[in-house]
Amino acid sequence: MINLIGSYECKIDAKGRLMVPAKLKSQLLPMLEDGFVLKRAVFQSCIEMYPMSEWNALMKKVNSLNRFNKKNNDFIRRFTAGVKMVEVDANGRLLVPKDLLNFAGLKKEIVLSSAIGIVEIWDKDKYELAIEDAADDFADLAEEVMGGNDGEFGIS
């Protein structure tokens, strides 16, 4: 499991190319050779970028679902819709395919935000709105998600 750190503002051009910020690229360096998977986020209008090792671990879980269960089959189809393999080129650029660019509504200003083992790619305005919206009930969410663990995580 990898633990990526940071949020980075950058620009994306009309062709969907973005320059991966140096500090993020240095964290991704061990994974550059294997490439990445881009997919639509489930809960937000952003793109998730999975290092191949993280994607393979996730697919192992998804692959264990019984495909003869209609809900499982529908989930797999929807979850993997629009999935693309991508690489960071020698110049440190990443090309976001048009369909994913449109899904996330990426314009010129974007944010690459680490989310533990993946990177979320957001339109800057949508990212700021999502963070602002979540701020109102974040304390309640934190208590619900992390508060009942009797200090197991040591987070205060």
pLDDT in tens, 4-60: 999 999 999 999 999 999 999 999 999 999 999 999 999 999 999 999 999 999 999
CA distance readout (Å), 76 to 50, 61, 79, 84: 17, 11, 5, 15
- 80 close to 98: Cβ distance less than 8 angstroms: no
Instruction: For residue 112, name the pLDDT band (cuts at 50, 70, 90).
Output: very high
Structure tokens at 19: 């320059």
Q: Are 116 and 4 in contact (CB under 8 A)?
A: yes
Using the predicted structure, report yes or no on whether residue 138 has a pLDDT greater than 80: no
Q: Write down the mean pLDDT value for the chain.
A: 91
Residue 29 backbone class (left: φ over 0; alpha: ψ -120 to 50; beta: rest): alpha
Cα 141 from Cα 134, distance rounded (Å): 9
| pLDDT level of residue 147 (50, 70, 90 thresholds) | confident
Identity at 9, one-letter amino acid code: E
Query: Tens of pLDDT along 59-95?
Result: 999 999 999 999 999 999 999 999 999 999 989 999 9
Give the E-state strand segments of the chain in sequence order. 7-11, 17-19, 36-40, 47-51, 84-86, 93-95, 109-115, 118-123
Task: State both tokens at 31.
Answer: 């994974």
Cα-trace Rg, the chain = 17
What CA–CA distance (Å, rounded) separates 144 from 26?
A: 34
Amino acid at 30: P
Which pLDDT value is given to residue 133?
Answer: 79
Set out the domains of the chain in order of their start, with CATH numbers: 7-124 (3.40.1550.20)
